[in-house]
Every structure is written in structure tokens, then in C-alpha cells.
Amino acid sequence: MTRSHLLPEFSLKDKVIIVSGGARGLGLVQAEALLEAGATVHCIDRLPSPAADHDSAFYKISERACRELDTRLTYHQSDVRNVHQLNSIMEQIASVTKRLDGLIAAAGINHETSALDHTAEEMDQVMSTNVTGAFVTAQAAARQMVRLKQKGSICFIASMSGTIANRGLSAPAYNASKAAVLQLCRSLAAEWGQYGIRVNTLSPGYIMTRMLQTLLKDFPEYRGAAVFLLSDASSFMTGSDLRIDGGHAAW
């Protein structure tokens, strides 16, 4: 995908977009797609550094953004549960760039544990990251959009597991957290529509991340979906879930 071949409504040229959980995995893959569509992208992740060395995917994408795409990928360190730091980063980005056009809230964790063995501490950790963290990230971004009197688009990364229970996969906290994200999306879409802020979710099916041996290079659907939801191509879409699961939930 190159900007010269994009339909104009899919262009993100001159837009500023934040991706939480953007140092690796699905967040980084989507960040690269946004860069290719013309956006300036700021990634937020809890890691002290986005990668161990400059031969990593993050740094290669960052270098490509400057060299080939005439845009920029910037890293900011913060846990999405650190409300003060998160708001400070969002305010700094918006104050410097004078705009904030979009957010992909991709930060999340999972504990694959049977319900009988799941601890309350594990449940709290998953819910505080996947639900509270997603909410305060969106809240911080929306505050800047409202302050700047600017329309925007927010995309939560949910999961097909928020709609169905995956046979053979015991992850009650994760499943519950993603169901909560789906309803959070609808609530925020209804409340923030008055400000011109759209809120949607993207629900992947089974995907392979770097933790599972690869970097999603064979999953272009998630790249295109990110550009679609953050661009004017989806301008009449809010409070909706875009599920990309290969038909898994149809059975």
C-alpha cells in the first residue's frame, strides 16, 4: 500500500494518531499501516524502550517512516494504568502538533487460566489493563480533541472472545474484559458523538503475534482495518464493531 494509490478518503496525510501498545505485535503492525497512509504516529507502551536493539522491527519501521514515507514514528513510555502520565503525554503531543486526530487503543494482556484456578489478583490485573486502561487512554485522547475543538476517531482493539467463548481456551478474565470493551465503545460513541468523536472496536480472531513466533506480516486485513477506522472512509460509522475472524464466530 502506497499513498499514491490510496483513495482520498483513506488518506491519513497530516493526521496525528496515537497507538497504545504500539511497541510490538498488532499495535506495531497497525502503526506501520497508519504511517503508510500518511499519518504521524505516536506509540505508547509500558516498555522502557520499544526494542532491545536498532535491528528490531520498531526501529526499522521508524527509520522507514522518515526515509521513505516522509512522516515520523515516535515512542513514549507509559503504562496505560498510569493516568497522570498518560494525560501528560497526550497533552504534550496535542500541544506540540496542535492536533490529535485518532487513537488505536491496542494495549492489553491475557491470562490463560481455567476459571476454577483463576485468582482475583489475575482478574484485577487483566481488567485494570484491558478495560480501565483502555478507558483512561481514550479519555485522555478525547479530552485533547475536545480542547482543540477537533473531530476524531478512536478504535479499541477488542476480540471475537468478547462475543463468543473460545472452545478449548480458558481465559475468563480476558473474555470478560473484551466484552466490557465492546460495551464501553458503544457508551462512549453515544456520549462523545456531540463532539464529532467517533468510537469503534476492531475484533480480531485468532492471530499470531511476535510472542507466537511471527509479526503478523501475513495478516493484511488488520492493517487495512486500522486505516479504514481511523480515516474518513468510515466517517459515518460509530459505536460499531468490525470483527475480522475468518468466519469463526459464524459457526
Catalytic center residues: 174, 178
Q: How big is the CA angle at 168 (ends 163 and 169), to the nearest 5 degrees?
A: 60
Distance CA 114, CA 156 (A): 26
At position 214, the amino acid (one-letter code) is T
108 DSSP 8-state letter: -
- Alpha-carbon separation of residue 69 from 4, 27, 75, 156, 216 (angstroms): 11, 19, 17, 26, 21
- What is the C-alpha to C-alpha distance for residues 205 and 158, in angstroms, rounded to an integer? 10
How far apart (Å, rounded) are the C-alpha atoms in residues 177 and 119?
15
The SS3 of residue 25 is helix
Which strands form 102-105's sheet, in the order they lie side by side?
A: 73-77, 40-45, 16-20, 102-105, 152-157, 197-204, 241-244
Angle value at C-alpha 209, between 49 and 19, nearest 5 degrees: 50
